[in-house]
Structure 1
Amino acid sequence: MGGHVARNTESIERDIEAARDQLASTLDELSVRANPKRIVESTKASILETLNTPAVKFSLIGAGAVVAVLVVRSILK
């Protein structure tokens, strides 16, 4: 029976070590995700992706053209 208890203790210690490693890995991943520089890069990439969608791109081109026409008209007055 003594061998059985030792094996259980070793098994528990391995489980604790695996859980500790998993926690350390999770914390590392969270610290990378929470890094302000990474958040800025992610936000910038998301904004650029949105701006590059055809609907938004053509809306911005249209708005730019309207502004350009208004500027030219105000200059010519």
Structure 2
Amino acid sequence: MGGKVSLKTAKSGIAFPSDLTLLKQVFDRVRVEDGIPVGSEQAERLSVIAMELFSDGEFDEAVLYERLRLYARL
């Protein structure tokens, strides 16, 4: 996925559309690479983890990817 991209959020914790786009791209990449079906329980759990990581302040694309890959394999 090209270069390292950082998500940026306002101090209020509001996610901007570009933040959510990147988060979805990372989620979709992991889902496809791990063969997780769209709409499955595993996909739902992975999406919750993605949002939790984001909410906890993890905005680095590479870190999000690696962490989601680990969770996808549990």
Give the structure-2-normalised TM-score: 0.30
Q: Which has the higher helix share?
A: 1
Greater RCO, 1 or 2 (C-alpha within 8 Å, sep 6+): 2
